[in-house]
Chain A
Amino acid sequence: MEAVKQMTNWDVEKIRKDFPVLSQTVNGQPLVYLDNGASSQVPQSVIDRTSKYLAEEHSNIHRGVHYLSQHATTAYEAAREKVKRFINAPDVKECIFVRGTTEGVNLVAFSYGRKFIGEGDEILVSQMEHHSNIIPWQMIAEEKGATIRVIPMNERGELIIDEYENMLNERTKMVAVTHVSNSLGTVNPVKEMIATAHKFGVPVCVDAAQSVPHFPVDVQDLDCDFFIFSGHKMFGPTGSGVMYGKRKWLDQMPPYQTGGGMIRTVSFEKTTFAPIPDKFEAGTPAIAAGIGLGAAIDYINAIDFEAAAAYEHELLEYATERLGDIPEVKIIGTAAEKASVLSFTIEGIHPHDIGTILDQQGIAIRAGHHCAQPVMEFYDVPATARASFAFYNTKEEVDKLADAVQKVIEVFA
């Protein structure tokens, strides 16, 4: 229990008051929300900002000459500016708003893929990718006659970097890799992987859905070509997300969706497209969600995010220790570098039964394959139970989780 005594100086009770959802009871018990990897909760400031938009500013953007439209446009573009600073993008125009990480990966796969991937080319994805960073690449590979190759991992759930380096060659046209694994919690050494890929002139697409909520990121430091994340996993609303791409790629890539708002001129003979970011933002976007994402970034900037990350890490270590002390529990994913995610199985008890019994005690976890069936196959399990933490979770909640897991074992004894 050493970890507990050394808990970082982080006023979790004060932080919890910012998140109204956390104060409720579920099944007669105080809610213990440990499904942050699926969706994190939303602070009051994000709720207020989104409400303000809907109550006072709602209008379509980028076209109206009237007061409200100009106001909405300003607010939406201010959110884009916040995104730029949040990830340290060189240029705000390189930050494309999308509905979420899934849409962002589809955008890159189909737009980049149609232009740059051809027959016989290779796309590298890792063994631990979420389905949304596998299937879009499979689809474009099938369309183009390219091949998907899988960067392997070891038993701890760490990518085998030596093998990755050997897989890169002149046919490689993309490396698609997750920053933090949603099913294992592994933090991948993406900066080094990007540097290696660039030696071969290969761009790298980073799935950052699970990293941006947990530690500060810098796309210029990483030197990634594409960097994609969702608002709803970083204390913002669903329907918001960002695809950052280097201008040198975005300028050359064809539009992904077409329609209103992304053109320069249209005639029946020929359409010319607007420059980025508009080229990739056809149709009316999720304006309220985008503004809400901006407010979520404001929230993250207002807290001590470095301290939050340190606190969360100690929470993860404490949870690993508590659950690790239960002989029937097997922890899936034991990488040296981990963030926020604790996946586990209990011998003889299906994760869905674990999930239901925990829910009855007010504890929300995820049970299932986490949209990462290749990971489940690797560990030869049908599913896992997953607790995923945020900086508003507490040590007491970890204790409740451990006690509830004990109860599960008793029910099935």
Chain B
Amino acid sequence: MSELSDLYQEVILEHNKNPRNFREIEDADQYADGKNPLCGDALRVYLKMDGEVVGDVAFKGSGCAISKASASMMTQAVKGKTKAEAEAIFGEFHAMVTGELDAETQENDLGKLKIFAGVLEFPARVKCASLSWHTLNAALKGEDVVSTE
């Protein structure tokens, strides 16, 4: 069960139970829909830009604990960041969950998001952790649909 506790850490379980910024933004500048057709996870990420800065970010949808907690922590991580900074964190997060970045030994700005490094041990769940990030990235780019499989 040791690997399991690496994945379902207290923080993740807590965010799953009480997801932050789990709401619509009615006057959003942009939103994007993320879907994983293999498992049926579906979420919408809303963006409200304040110039180049992410003024507000929120999400709605249904998914597993990993995808929900990841979306919740993502909103906390990118709120108040510039578009370029948010994209940079997306790049690092993506690199971490695909094994290209060792968040423990290589320099990064992932902070609390490092908790998702454990997902590497669960190949079937990598997409759960990254769905919200791909969706955010699409919204930042002005695209409205993203699909992972």
Binding site for B on A (CB under 8 A): 27, 349-353, 356-357, 360-361, 367-369, 373, 376, 382-383, 411-412
Contact of B65 among A361, A383, A412 (CB under 8 A): A412
B8: A residues at CB distance < 8 A: 353, 357, 411
Contact between chains at B13 and A411 (CB < 8 Å): yes
In the assembled complex, the Cα of A178 lies from the Cα of B51 at a distance in Å of 56
B124: A residues at CB distance < 8 A: 356
Stretch at the interface among B22-30, B36-44, B71-79, B100-108: B36-44
Contact between chains at A382 and B3 (CB < 8 Å): no
Contact of B40 among A353, A357, A361, A369 (CB under 8 A): A369
Interface flags for B31-59 (1: CB within 8 Å of A; 0: not) read 00000001111100000000000000000
B125 within 8 A of A: yes
Closest to A382 in B: B40
B82 to chain A, nearest CB (A): 33
B63 within 8 A of A: yes
Contact between chains at A356 and B125 (CB < 8 Å): yes
A337 to chain B, nearest CB (A): 28
Q: Are A360 and B4 CB-contacts (below 8 A) given A350-B65, A352-B64, A353-B64? A: yes
In the assembled complex, the Cα of A352 lies from the Cα of B65 at a distance in Å of 9
B41: A residues at CB distance < 8 A: 382
A410 to chain B, nearest CB (A): 11
In the assembled complex, the Cα of A383 lies from the Cα of B36 at a distance in Å of 12
Contact between chains at B13 and A368 (CB < 8 Å): no
In the assembled complex, the Cα of A412 lies from the Cα of B63 at a distance in Å of 15
Contact of A356 among B13, B42, B122 (CB under 8 A): B122
In the assembled complex, the Cα of A351 lies from the Cα of B128 at a distance in Å of 13
Contact between chains at B3 and A27 (CB < 8 Å): yes
Closest to A355 in B: B124
In the assembled complex, the Cα of A373 lies from the Cα of B37 at a distance in Å of 10
Chain B residues bordering chain A, tally (CB within 8 A): 22
B89 within 8 A of A: no
Q: Are A356 and B40 CB-contacts (below 8 A) given A350-B64, A382-B62, A411-B13? A: no
B140 within 8 A of A: no
Contact of A368 among B40, B65, B125 (CB under 8 A): B40
B7 within 8 A of A: yes
B66 within 8 A of A: yes
Closest to B38 in A: A368
The 7 tightest CB contacts between A and B, nearest first, are A350-B64, A360-B4, A352-B64, A382-B40, A353-B65, A353-B64, A369-B40
In the assembled complex, the Cα of A412 lies from the Cα of B62 at a distance in Å of 17
B38: A residues at CB distance < 8 A: 368
A375 to chain B, nearest CB (A): 12
Contact between chains at B4 and A383 (CB < 8 Å): no
Q: Are A356 and B7 CB-contacts (below 8 A) given A349-B65, A412-B13? A: yes
In the assembled complex, the Cα of A357 lies from the Cα of B42 at a distance in Å of 22
B128 to chain A, nearest CB (A): 7
B63: A residues at CB distance < 8 A: 350, 382
In the assembled complex, the Cα of A367 lies from the Cα of B65 at a distance in Å of 14
Closest to B41 in A: A382
B42: A residues at CB distance < 8 A: 382
- Which of B4, B16, B64 has most A Cβ within 10 Å? B64
B62: A residues at CB distance < 8 A: 382
Contact between chains at B4 and A352 (CB < 8 Å): no
B78 to chain A, nearest CB (A): 24
Closest to B8 in A: A411
In the assembled complex, the Cα of A41 lies from the Cα of B16 at a distance in Å of 36
Contact between chains at B39 and A368 (CB < 8 Å): yes
In the assembled complex, the Cα of A376 lies from the Cα of B37 at a distance in Å of 13
A357: B residues at CB distance < 8 A: 4, 8
B7: A residues at CB distance < 8 A: 356
In the assembled complex, the Cα of A350 lies from the Cα of B7 at a distance in Å of 15
A411: B residues at CB distance < 8 A: 8, 13
In the assembled complex, the Cα of A369 lies from the Cα of B39 at a distance in Å of 7
Contact of A360 among B3, B13, B128 (CB under 8 A): B3
In the assembled complex, the Cα of A368 lies from the Cα of B40 at a distance in Å of 7
B15 to chain A, nearest CB (A): 12
A351: B residues at CB distance < 8 A: 64
Interface flags for B120-143 (1: CB within 8 Å of A; 0: not) read 001011001000000000000000
Would you mind naming 17 contact pairs between A and B with Cβ atoms under 8 Å apart? A27-B3, A351-B64, A352-B39, A352-B64, A352-B128, A353-B64, A356-B4, A356-B124, A360-B3, A367-B39, A368-B40, A373-B40, A376-B40, A382-B62, A411-B8, A412-B13, A412-B65
